[in-house]
Amino acid sequence: MKTAIYPGSFDPITLGHLNIIHRAAATFDRVVVAIMVNSGKKQPLFTPEERCEMARRVLCSLPNVEVTCADGLLAEYARQYEGAVIVKGLRALTDFEYELQMALTNKKINPGLETYFLAASERYTYLSSSIVKELASYGADLSEFLPQEICQTVADKVRQEDKQHE
Ligand code: ADP
Residue-by-residue pLDDT tens, the chain, 166 positions = 899 999 999 999 999 999 999 999 999 999 999 999 976 667 899 999 999 999 999 999 999 999 999 999 999 999 999 999 999 999 987 889 999 999 999 999 999 999 999 999 999 999 999 999 999 999 999 999 999 999 999 999 999 988 887 7
Q: Is 115 in the pocket of ligand 1 (CB under 6 A)?
A: no
Distance between Cα 10 and ligand 1 center (Å): 8
The pLDDT, as a whole number, for residue 92 is 84
Q: Is 28 in the pocket of ligand 1 (CB under 6 A)?
A: no
Task: Output the residue whose Cα is nearest ligand 1's atom 12.
Answer: 89
The pLDDT, as a whole number, for residue 41 is 67
Specify the DSSP element, H or E, that contains 26.
helix 15-27
Task: Output the residue whose Cα is nearest ligand 1's atom 4.
Answer: 129
Q: Residues with catalytic annotation?
A: 17, 41, 91, 129
Q: What are phi and psi of 118, to 5 degrees?
A: -110, 130
The pLDDT, as a whole number, for residue 39 is 64
Atom of ligand 1 nearest to the CA of 124: 23
Q: Is 46 in the pocket of ligand 1 (CB under 6 A)?
A: no
The candidate with the shortest Cα–Cα distance to 142, out of 8, 13, 7, is 13
Which one of 115, 128, 131 would you pick to mutate in the ligand 1 pocket, going by the greatest count of ligand atoms within 8 A of its CB? Answer: 128
Q: What number of H helices and E strands is found in the chain?
A: 6, 5
Q: How far apart are CA 118 and CA 142, in angstroms?
A: 24
Distance between Cα 79 and ligand 1 center (Å): 23
